[in-house]
Amino acid sequence: MDSAITLIKKELHLLDKGDAQFQQIKRKGNSLYINGQILLLSLSRSRYEFAADDEFEDYQVTVMANESVGWSCSCKAKGPSLHLVAE
């Protein structure tokens, strides 16, 4: 499991290029996490499923980490969503 978490952290680090938009996404995602609005639904060796209780709607987030990282979020964001970053 540590290797999956390491892969996910590296992927998020690659996305974080100091871009102001990504910084805002990180702040909002961190706020969801700190306020307890993220719930781990299931966990396996390389797959994590979360529920994000956002202000306007609830979203499902899945993160898969095998040799590479993949994710999906039920929100309409193009690219990494704040719900993904919150996980």
> Domains of the chain (ranges plus CATH)?
2-86 (3.30.200)
pLDDT for the residue numbered 48 = 92
Q: State the pTM of this model.
A: 0.77
Per-residue pLDDT tens over the stretch 35-73? 999 999 999 988 999 999 988 899 999 999 888 888 889
Element (H, E) at 26: helix 20-34
Three-class secondary structure assignment of 51-77: EEECCCCEEEEEEEECCCEEEEECCCC
The answer to whether 15 and 9 are in contact (CB under 8 A) is no
Per-residue pLDDT tens over the stretch 4-44? 888 888 888 877 777 788 888 888 889 999 999 999 999 99
Q: Sign (positive/negative) of CA torsion 33, 37, 40, 46?
A: negative
